Chains A and B, each alone.
Chain A
Amino acid sequence: DAGITQSPRHKVTETGTPVTLRCHQTENHRYMYWYRQDPGHGLRLIHYSYGVKDTDKGEVSDGYSVSRSKTEDFLLTLESATSSQTSVYFCAISESPGTAANEQYFGPGTRLTVT
């Protein structure tokens, strides 16, 4: 398994509170991604990063922000959590998108419940 950890693994929080999820990799891969997984929707891309301090939005970025100050860490922040953000969040990494090595490796996930 690729060296990807996510913390916390489970979190329950209240509506309106800020939440930060952390993804840490030991593979030195350049690209990192945050997805959310919801029943009937598969995985949807929230934000991604193509290098330190280089990030871009995915298809469901509203209400989320990200930061990447080091190659190994990619943080996802919910500025003010809402119940619609209750989901399972997966981090993924990739070495060389667009090449034969274009494969994303996924972390174990974080289950977030917003009450």
Chain B
Amino acid sequence: AQSVSQHNHHVILSEAASLELGCNYSYGGTVNLFWYVQYPGQHLQLLLKYFSGDPLVKGIKGFEAEFIKSKFSFNLRKPSVQWSDTAEYFCAVNAHNQGGKLIFGQGTELSVKP
């Protein structure tokens, strides 16, 4: 069965620090990859997605992610975090033969100290 693993459960950073959140998935076929963000008390919003083409994907609010197929990874990065980035971040995978079903990772809670 497919699975998605996010290695960091809770990350605490100071403002202006760089961020990298890990995401690995287990599926050998073609996939679509997503990062969603959930701000406190809100619903999930899409940060970025990889469908095909350039493996370096840029999203909203200065986030980017790199798809490394050989490592089954899709890590999220931001060079300089802000207090407003405090949120929970979810990686998700959709396999091409699974219709629209998304498999989510456990989530990473990011706390940014001002």
Contacts and interface: CB of A to CB of B under 8 A. Distances in A.
Partners in one complex: yes
Interface of A: 31, 33, 35, 40-45, 48, 50, 58, 90, 92, 94, 97-100, 102-109
Given A42-B90, A48-B99, 11 more contacts: A35-B104, A40-B106, A41-B106, A42-B104, A44-B104, A50-B100, A58-B101, A102-B49, A104-B102, A105-B46, A108-B43
Interface string B1-24: 000101001000000000000000
A48 B51 contact: no
28 contacts: A31-B99, A33-B100, A33-B101, A40-B106, A40-B107, A41-B106, A42-B6, A42-B90, A42-B104, A45-B102, A50-B99, A50-B100, A90-B43, A97-B99, A97-B100, A98-B94, A99-B51, A100-B51, A102-B32, A102-B51, A102-B94, A102-B100, A103-B34, A104-B46, A104-B100, A105-B46, A108-B42, A108-B43
A94 B43 contact: no
Report, nearest first, the 5 A-B pairs whose CB atoms are least far apart: A97-B100, A42-B104, A106-B44, A43-B104, A106-B43
Nearest to A101: B51
Contacts of A90: 43-44
**In the complex, which range does the number of interface residues on chain B fall in?**
20 to 34
B99 A98 contact: yes
B113 interface: no
Given A43-B90, A106-B43, A106-B44, A94 B100 contact: yes
